[in-house]
Copies of this chain bind each other. A is one copy, B any other.
Amino acid sequence: MFTINFNDKTTLYEQLYHRIRTDIESGFLGQNEKLPSKRKLAKHLQISISTVQNAYEQLLAEGYIISKEKKGYYVCDEPVFAGRKIIIPPPLVITEPQAESPQFDLKTNAVDTEHFPYSVWSRLMRESMRENPTVLLHSLHPQGNYDLRVEIANYLQAFRDVNITPEQIILGAGIEYIIGLITELLPVAFFAYENPGYMKIRKILESRRMDAVAVPVDNNGLIVEKLAQTGATAVFVTASNHFPTGAVMGVGRRRQLIEWAEQSDERYIIEDDFNSEFRFVLKPIPALQSLDTSEKVIYINSFAQTLAPSLRMAYAVLPETLLQRYREKLMFYSCTVSQFEQLTLKRFLQGGYYERHLGRMKTVYRNRQKIFIDGLSPIIENLILDGQKAGLHLQIKSAKLTECELVKLANDKGVRVYPFSDFYAVPPPETHTVALGFAGCGDDELREVAGRLCAAWE
């Protein structure tokens, strides 16, 4: 009936289990058929009773056979893929979509990789590994490590005029996660977002089957009258450095926006303070949150562009009313940021490394921007350059060329630039602007890129 291969490296009981299982699956052993007793089968195969016992136990556990008291073992009385051919499908070989890569990619979310503080970070990671094992491996607070939140609160107070306590901060694995969490937090979920703007917000809202509406932006930021017409209950804004135009929402418009929110308990403003750290003229524009005396602004930001996108660390700062709601509704979610990295970032902030790193990167990026603008100077007469005051990309607007032409001409020279229509929910009929992220290229590369763009667009 069965043959056992004593040279096979799988155990004897597993061989026997597999053999009987195959016979059941193939129908060779029919429903309700009696199996030989353990003793009889052991004797027949010249193996121990316990080997047979183990094989039968496994088959019992998986439901292939049943045991009837004082009668013995039987094949189960339900069809077990009988008649169906069990084919293990061959591994799918699915090629992952690869982005075509031009020589230079001026994407807006690139960062420098040269100046990352590798050795400090590495040392602090090692120190974090020596923390109390329970802290390290176990007890993640849903909002994130408390001491890290203390450091973030101090930083926000000092640099963004954001006056809060660590209890209001919730850490999450990236700004997209944080945005998702907010959609679950707010009592009514009809969201507005800036147009043009950061279109991932729209994608997240659509993916989560949320009502969402685009609101136009002028050179003073989101137009509050238009927002008021939509019926939306919450709005995402980049008040201090609008993405992608770089517009600053002035204090009058800010007041208007906060007053819009104050008109209903359900209304909230989500301030995405993306890239406000990198302002190259005078002092940073204060966060909208700093004007909020009525608990209407949720402040969100991340360490993606100031440290590295591959560290998944972002956070939201909730006003008190929403904090209570978070605790009632969402505190069951575990924190999504690795504890190791939270502890490392905590040390990085405590040691003053973050402040120094930011200062250094501001200088690095200011210089890069200058090199890039200098390199583009031969064609600046024909093109309008914008976005110099802040952020890690520039905008180029052409009177003659459309964005498609700008993109194509640059691409022909091996440079990828980004059409402004990418940043629109509904693109205007014709745009003439492209975005050029300069953060990911070194100084020499930027000189090269600028030369190529001059040749492309002259």
Give the chain B neighbours of A286 by CB distance below 8 A: 62
Docked Cα-Cα span, A363 to B196, in Å, equals 58
Contact A137 to B251, CB < 8 A, known contacts A332-B200, A336-B336: no
Give the chain B neighbours of A209 by CB distance below 8 A: 189, 209
Report A1-27 CB contacts with B as 1/0, cut-off 8 Å.
000000000000110010000000000
Task: Say yes or no for A293: interface residue by CB 8 A criterion.
Answer: yes
Give the chain B neighbours of A111 by CB distance below 8 A: 137-138
Which residue of chain B is the closest to A17 with respect to CB atoms? B283
Give the chain B neighbours of A54 by CB distance below 8 A: 282
Task: Say yes or no for A40: interface residue by CB 8 A criterion.
Answer: no
- This protein's copies in its complex: 2
Q: Per a CB cutoff under 8 Å, which of B88, B94, B138, B308 touches A167?
A: B94
Q: Per a CB cutoff under 8 Å, which of B63, B126, B168, B252 touches A122?
A: B126
Within 8 A of B (CB), among A180-213: 180, 184, 189, 200, 203-204, 207-209
Which residue of chain B is the closest to A342 with respect to CB atoms? B310
Contact A133 to B113, CB < 8 A, known contacts A208-B184, A338-B341: yes
Within the complex, the shortest CB–CB distance from A22 to chain B, in Å, comes to 13
Pair B176/A333 contact, Cβ less than 8 Å = yes
Pair A255/B76 contact, Cβ less than 8 Å = no
Pair A80/B255 contact, Cβ less than 8 Å = yes
Which residue of chain B is the closest to A248 with respect to CB atoms? B61
Which residue of chain B is the closest to A82 with respect to CB atoms? B255
Contact A320 to B92, CB < 8 A, known contacts A81-B291, A336-B336: yes
Give the chain B neighbours of A134 by CB distance below 8 A: 113
Give the chain B neighbours of A309 by CB distance below 8 A: 137-138, 140, 334
Pair A138/B113 contact, Cβ less than 8 Å = yes
Give the chain B neighbours of A385 by CB distance below 8 A: none
Pair B121/A80 contact, Cβ less than 8 Å = no
Docked Cα-Cα span, A163 to B89, in Å, equals 8
Docked Cα-Cα span, A207 to B331, in Å, equals 11
Docked Cα-Cα span, A252 to B74, in Å, equals 14
Within the complex, the shortest CB–CB distance from A375 to chain B, in Å, comes to 23
**Closest 9 pairs between A and B when the two form their complex, measured CB to CB:** A63-B250, A310-B339, A78-B252, A173-B336, A113-B133, A137-B308, A94-B167, A173-B173, A63-B251
